[in-house]
Amino acid sequence: MIALEPGAAGAFLQRLGRTIDATFGRPGAIVAVSAHTAAREPVLLAGAQHAAVHDFGGFDPKLYSLRYDAPGAPDLAPRVAGLLQAAGLPVHVTGESGLDHGIWTALRYVWPHADVPVLPLALVPNQPPARQFEIGAALAPLLEQGVLVVGSGSITHNLQRVFAHGMPTRAEQPEIAESAAFRHWMAERSAARDWDALFDYRRRAPHAADMHPTDEHLLPWYAAAGAGGRDSAPVRLHDSVTYGCLGMDAYAFGPQAPALADALR
């Protein structure tokens, strides 16, 4: 619903795009890892042109009229595949295209003209956080070429809680204690670069199974973190909550993350 109800997170994403452009220059391309493009092994969607995929049901019909027709990045796909293969990771390349809602609902605020090429990399949802981090780490050299690695999911994601009282529900609700505790733990462990705890979040974080009954919506965070590297602490750029329990936090990773945070202040 952020596509129709931007709220605080949507306003942040608009500022984020302008700030990245002004501070570092517009990226040449984006490798996007989303909770909603999944496969049994990593797959690159290397189509030349993307369209928004409306991969949901039961929401406001206006969502189906929204478009995000971004260019693909087929020329980048061999480079990304080579990096993964060099790290001993399996990878497949397909000429398929399409941006799931985890990608386009965010990017339509960050770069609304859909003029940055996007290369989706399918998530393998049964692989643990440490493996997602390994995939991201293999892609770290892309940053030197002006390519962003973006993870799209949700810092807390329990839709049973969101829709407990049916649809539609009010986006503006007080945050429940479980969500606040989990989000605080993630921010605290990130600032400490406590990778052992972060990789083992499901046992160590408060209310982990409640906030992530299944963890595919948190796993893209680890892929982006891997691209940033172990030596750089993840920096929380934005924190907000919608529906009382759906965390909309945004993080930056890598050595340039503090500069981005400063530029956003």
Q: Taking the complete model, does pTM exceed 0.75, yes or no?
A: yes
CA-closest candidate to residue 79, choices 141, 123, 17 = 141
- H or E segment at 84? helix 77-86
Domains in the chain and their CATH numbers? 7-264 (3.40.830.10)
Q: Which residues, listed in sequence order, are joined to residue 49 by a DSSP beta bridge?
A: 71
Hey, which residues does 44 pair with through a beta bridge?
Answer: 93, 121
pLDDT given for residue 133 in this prediction: 98
**pLDDT given at position 171:** 72
Cβ atoms of residues 193 and 212 within 8 Å: no
Please tell me the distance from the alpha carbon of residue 72 to that of residue 49, in angstroms, as a whole number.
5
* CA 246 – CA 235 distance, rounded (Å): 19
User: What does the DSSP assignment read for 30-98?
Assistant: EEEEETTSB-SS-EEE--SB--B-----SS-GGGGG-----BB-TTTHHHHHHHHHHTT---EEE----
Q: What is the reported pLDDT for 203?
A: 97
Q: One digit per residue, pLDDT tens: the chain, 265 residues?
A: 888 889 999 999 999 999 999 999 999 999 999 999 999 999 999 999 999 999 887 788 898 999 999 999 999 999 999 999 999 999 999 999 999 999 999 999 999 999 999 999 999 999 999 999 999 999 999 999 999 999 999 999 998 888 776 655 677 788 999 999 999 999 999 999 999 999 999 999 999 999 999 999 999 999 999 999 999 999 999 999 998 889 999 999 999 999 999 999 9
The amino acid sitting at 234 is P
Measured distance CA(82)–CA(102) in Å, rounded: 25
Position 170 scores a pLDDT of 72
3-state helix, strand, coil in the chain (%, to 5): 40, 15, 45
Residue 72: Cβ-neighbour burial (10 angstroms; 0-12, 13-18, 19+): buried
Determine the Cα–Cα distance for residues 5 and 88; give it in Å rounded to an integer. Answer: 42
